[in-house]
Structure 1
Amino acid sequence: MAGVSRTSSGAPRGADLFFWAFCLVVLANAALFTVAWLGGTLGAAVTGHGFHPPPFTLGAYLALISGDIGTLWPGASPYAVYAGMLVVALLLVVPAVLAGRRLLDVRGRGVGLARVRDLAPLTPAGIAARARELRPSLAGVRQLTPDDTGNLLGDLSPNGPELRSSFEDVELDLMAPRAGKSTGIAVPRVLRARGAVLLTSNKSDVYAVTRAERERVGTVWTFDPQGIAHVPRRMWWDILADCTSIEGARRLAGHFVASVNDDTAKKDFWISAAQNTLTALFLAAARGRVPVAELLGWLADPADRTPIDLLRDAGLPAMAEQLQGTVRGAVETRDGIYETARQCVACLLDPEILAWVSPDPYLPQFRPERHVLGRDTLFLLSKDGGGSAAGVIAGLADATLRAGVVAAERMGGRLDPPMTAVLDEAANVCRISDLPDLYSHLGSRGINVVTLLQSYRQGSRVWGEAGMDALWGAATIKLLGAGLDDADFVEKVSKLVGQHDVSTVSVSRSRDGSSRSTSYRQEHVLPPDRIRALPKGTALLLATGIRPAVITLRPWYKEPDAARISAQARQEVAAITERAAGKATATPWQANRRETPAAG
């Protein structure tokens, strides 16, 4: 009869299981008997009856089970014998348990994922050494605090150690809503920052938790033109300050265009022409020291020659001629360009928003070049969607980042202490069109940028596929959290994590006997379904030059100082609620009026 191959689902599997179960029972009893045999002998020896081990036989085993201690160790106290057994059991079981736990930890981390030795550059010792190289101010400090060495990422799952990124790393985090972006990333970064902080958001939660704590180390600037946290206006920013150059004016125009253009990588004729027109108008207003309100008047009346004359007076005849050509073009074309430009800056028609970017002699002016040199905090809050101040927010964020680059160059190449920029909801409220190109450069200047997105596709809609690929490639640290539902993206990530060998044993039986063979196949270390099903509070860590790892985030409310910060957050939330209620019941004149200090 031909040989019959039985798979793991056939009858021979039951026979094999019985055989292995029988062997396991025999080995377990032998191990227990060995512990009792050795422990009883040592217990009897310690109490003065000499080291006389009983025979290691089946009869001795049966005597031990029946409790006949006197036959095995004549004259010895049963208490001493049992105590010796217990001591030996503890000495052998404890190491076995520790070894078992270590084995379970390794299995829990997953075959093929990074282990502690692979993550040495991110562990406390490795990151501290790197911090001393990047920060000259730490040269004479013997004992460094953890937050002086790097940015907390989380703990290697399941039992550590703590992992941190260096101060030259730039980070991209992709997580679904309610997956821990705010509690596990944004809030801890702001609380632990050693230098200046920049945060963008469309919610008041991070602001409420961190404002009081950041106020202990520096000035808190809150730019809240749309009342996200209902903070009274106590500052203003000169939106035209950097528009004295063509580059600065074009960048600001680009931010406004990006706020209404779904894909900044694709610009049609009207969008491009509107950006050129806004560039010329911003440049004319900045050179002529004209307020933004008057600039809006130029947009409303294309026939107004004032910006053309200001450009000529500033020695920019080419720009003046270009603007004049647009004004003198076909009426339909001119009106289409100007209407598109008006839509881009429509948020400035709101007097509440306009007031935040217009000079105010009664309030302090926010100056990005000073902010980046200290430990102050800038909160940029804006709604997303229609009517948002996203263009203004992106302009101020970009101005602050570029001020950090200039300051770093003057300090020898890097900011020390480093600056922290958390761009939460970057695709909605902070669309810096060339962010992918700036990313790696910012990291080399000591500006730690963290961009938080809900998905890879969300970023692709803003920066285009090529731009998002560039952002992904420039980020030296990537955290992928729970709820990633983009099948194509998750499949790509699974391939990046890699594969490992899986062995399969097959048994073949015939009349001549049986044979066992082992074959190998490759499986994904983390299949797409496991990446999608990452538990909340965990993330897949992809660091440059290091094998992937799964980490556990460290939410702020589980840290030692959480009680104090929670109390401050409750007070801040109550204040926000009170301000919102007061604004809702106020008359329009009361709600919009500006509070000024009393004379004298």
Structure 2
Amino acid sequence: MAQGARGGDEQVTLAVTVLAGSVLALCGVVWFGGTLGVAVAGGGWRPPPFRLSTFFEIVSVGPSTAWPRSPAAAVVGTVAVTLVLAAIVVLVVRRFQGRGPHRNGLAGRKELAALLPKEAAAKARQLRPSLRDVTEVEPDDRGNLLGDLDPGGPELRSSYEDVELDLMAPRAGKSTGIAIPRVLRARGAVLLTSNKSDVYSVTRAAREQAGTVWTFDPQGIAHTPRLMWWDMLAECVTIENSRRMAGHFVASVNDDSAKKDFWISAAQNTLTALFLAASRSRSSVTDLLGWLADPADRAPIDLLKEVGLPAMAEQLQGTVLGAVETRDGIYETARQCVSCLLDPEIAAWVTPDPGLPRFDPHQHVLGNDTLYLLSKDGGGSAAGIIAGLADSTMRAGVVAAERMGGRLDPPMTAVLDEAANVCRISDLPDLYSHLGSRGINVVTLLQSYRQGSRVWGEAGMDALWSAATIKLLGAGLDDADFVEKVSKLVGQHDVKTYSTSRSRDGSSRSMSYRQEAIMPADKIRALPKGTALLLATGVRPALIRLRPWYKEPDAGPISAQAKAEVQAITERAAQKWHEQAPDMV
């Protein structure tokens, strides 16, 4: 028999079965409820015959045909009550069914117990000494809100030792459903990177009530005036720190940090030596740029020798005295890596200014302050500086956690939005393995798996994926190979298959099972906006609904503050435009 014909027969059979079952259930409720109503009214237990003609008479004539000499009101009222009770029973049954494995093969409440409110509160007490004597742990103290289990809830929260990787296409809810809620709900210090002002404009006023807001905006994303500075060179006092800082600038111009050619590697070595010389001698960014402009300048070599680093000085001298073509190629590559510092408006943010407060990462991680790191992407961006400051702040959190006995309390929240564009920390996959255990909750937001592979290489992105204990996969993932792999990770489940065969002697129907993907690749790609596939360590995948900030009960005041902030940004942008182009007004 043709497959299409078999499928049509199965659908007809199923429809007839559902209809017959529904009619039978309704008749049973009417039969039982009417008989019970008569008994309650004092007429005794006198059930009518349970046959189809009885119910036709009840519908056409009324309940008096089945229960003569009984009050119609008592019969109808009891039937109504019985229908309500039956509906309640159905809802309760469905509720308890949701506690087990989800009917489509995804995780249910029981399997996600570790992310539910009660277990999350218990976990928070274990991780945070300040909560051990608290009778009722506030929701946002329990962990990070991920969303609501689909369908019907409850809310799910990861612990503060989890580290998270979220992959979603543009306009799929990364900012409204993840970045903004995390910043608004954070209990400790906050760090946010972004190439847009949307998260900043919504959260700044609320975070100002929690502590000091530091806005590092060297390229005018939010057009904020410079009210702070960060001593970038002071972070380069050791060889390790200098190499890390040089690596951030190199990564900002290198598409794949896992693949460094000769010029990139040599430029990083040269920048390491120059950063170290400038830091130890308390030289300025201007001095650093001068050394790069003139490879024959011996000042950095002499300074390295004076501070007791002869090996580093000899290495730099070897580069300077090498073949002219090689030396010039290395220095030109290094100049390209730090070209953003040629812009005096950008350089001012990392140059000491006695008239403004200095941002100190080691103080920041101990309180409830907020650091916004805003930068454009593409050529000439300040991404190297942004990555350096973000890295310094997170490593300062590690140092503070060690002094506290192992973990920050309250925990620090680091939301690395647009990490592949403005915060290319080359060893971020390695940092993930222990940041969570230090009470530093990191959330990295990417547009796709391929975007991360382009920055950290295939091996690096695989390491980041493996190190993340929480992964959210949202709408618009178009990488066919990646989505197919995710489908395999979600797994398969048994599906009943019915087949009908016909012969001269009649027809017979049989049932069998076959394996089918729980979520085929096309369904993962077509996830609706606002939903995400949750992959948590040790738990079957689950489907959740994100909780956008504008749908929360306190969205009204926040929305008003956001509108005021957007208006202020617009006015600052217009003023800056008038100042830069007075002849065009």
Question: Number of residue pairs matched?
Answer: 582
Q: Which residue of 2 aligns with 1:42?
A: 36
| 2:183 is the counterpart of 1:218 | no
Q: Which residue of 2 aligns with 1:78?
A: 72
Could you give the per-residue CA deviations for residues 500-546 of structure 1, whole angstroms, max 9, x where no partner exists?
12222222222244333333221110000000000000100000001
The one-letter code of the counterpart of 2:303 is L
Q: Which secondary structure state, in structure 2, belongs to the residue aligned with residue 304 of structure 1?
A: coil
Q: Give the superposition deviation at 1:389.
A: 0.4
- Aligned in 2, Cα 1:413/1:24: closer, same or farther, shift over 3 Å? closer
Q: Give the superposition deviation at 1:587.
A: 4.5
Q: How does 1:148-227 map to 2 (within 5 A)?
A: 148-227=141-220
| 2:485 is the counterpart of 1:492 | yes
Q: 2:564 aligns with which of 566, 571, 587?
A: 571
Q: Is the 8 A contact 2:100 2:111 kept in 1?
A: no
Q: 2:298 aligns with which of 287, 305, 320?
A: 305
Q: Which residue of 2 aligns with 1:293?
A: 286
Paired with 1:119 and 1:148, the residues of 2 have a C-alpha distance of: 19
Q: Give the superposition deviation at 1:52.
A: 2.9
Could you give the per-residue CA deviations for residues 476-512 of structure 1, whole angstroms, max 9, x where no partner exists?
0000000000000000000000011222222222224
Q: Which secondary structure state, in structure 1, belongs to the residue aligned with residue 277 of structure 2?
A: helix
Deviates more, 1:73-82 or 1:16-25: 16-25
Q: How does 1:106-185 map to 2 (within 5 A)?
A: 111-185=104-178
The one-letter code of the counterpart of 2:86 is L
Q: How does 1:348-387 map to 2 (within 5 A)?
A: 348-387=341-380
Q: Is the 8 A contact 2:101 2:110 kept in 1?
A: no
- Aligned in 2, Cα 1:490/1:215: closer, same or farther, shift over 3 Å? same
| 2:445 is the counterpart of 1:455 | no
- Aligned in 2, Cα 1:510/1:234: closer, same or farther, shift over 3 Å? same
Q: Give the superposition deviation at 1:588.
A: 7.8
Q: Which secondary structure state, in structure 1, belongs to the residue aligned with residue 259 of structure 2?
A: coil
Q: Is the 8 A contact 1:193 1:420 kept in 2?
A: yes
Q: Which runs of 5+ in 2 are unaligned?
A: none
Could you give the per-residue CA deviations for residues 256-288 of structure 1, whole angstroms, max 9, x where no partner exists?
100111110011111111100100011111111
Q: Is the 8 A contact 1:201 1:381 kept in 2?
A: yes
The one-letter code of the counterpart of 1:43 is G
Q: Give the superposition deviation at 1:398.
A: 0.6
Paired with 2:342 and 2:444, the residues of 1 have a C-alpha distance of: 29
- Aligned in 2, Cα 1:307/1:130: closer, same or farther, shift over 3 Å? same
Q: Which residue of 2 aligns with 1:400?
A: 393
Larger-Rg structure: 1
Could you give the per-residue CA deviations for residues 70-119 of structure 1, whole angstroms, max 9, x where no partner exists?
4543322222232233233332243235546877x799965110000000
Q: Which residue of 2 aligns with 1:54?
A: 48
Q: Is the 8 A contact 1:7 1:507 kept in 2?
A: no
Q: Which secondary structure state, in structure 1, belongs to the residue aligned with residue 153 of structure 2?
A: coil
Q: Which runs of 5+ in 1 are unaligned?
A: 1-5, 590-600
| 2:425 is the counterpart of 1:432 | yes
Q: Which residue of 2 aligns with 1:232?
A: 225
| 2:492 is the counterpart of 1:503 | no
TM-score, normalised via structure 1 length? 0.93
- Aligned in 2, Cα 1:48/1:311: closer, same or farther, shift over 3 Å? same
Q: Which residue of 2 aligns with 1:91?
A: 85
Q: Which secondary structure state, in structure 2, belongs to the residue aligned with residue 586 of structure 1?
A: helix
Paired with 1:485 and 1:68, the residues of 2 have a C-alpha distance of: 61
- Cα RMSD between the aligned structures? 2.2
Q: Which secondary structure state, in structure 1, belongs to the residue aligned with residue 494 of structure 2?
A: strand
- Aligned in 2, Cα 1:518/1:350: closer, same or farther, shift over 3 Å? same
Paired with 1:541 and 1:193, the residues of 2 have a C-alpha distance of: 21
Q: Is the 8 A contact 1:222 1:380 kept in 2?
A: yes
Q: 2:466 aligns with which of 469, 473, 484?
A: 473
Q: Give the superposition deviation at 1:153.
A: 0.5
- Aligned in 2, Cα 1:504/1:354: closer, same or farther, shift over 3 Å? same
Q: Give the superposition deviation at 1:67.
A: 2.2
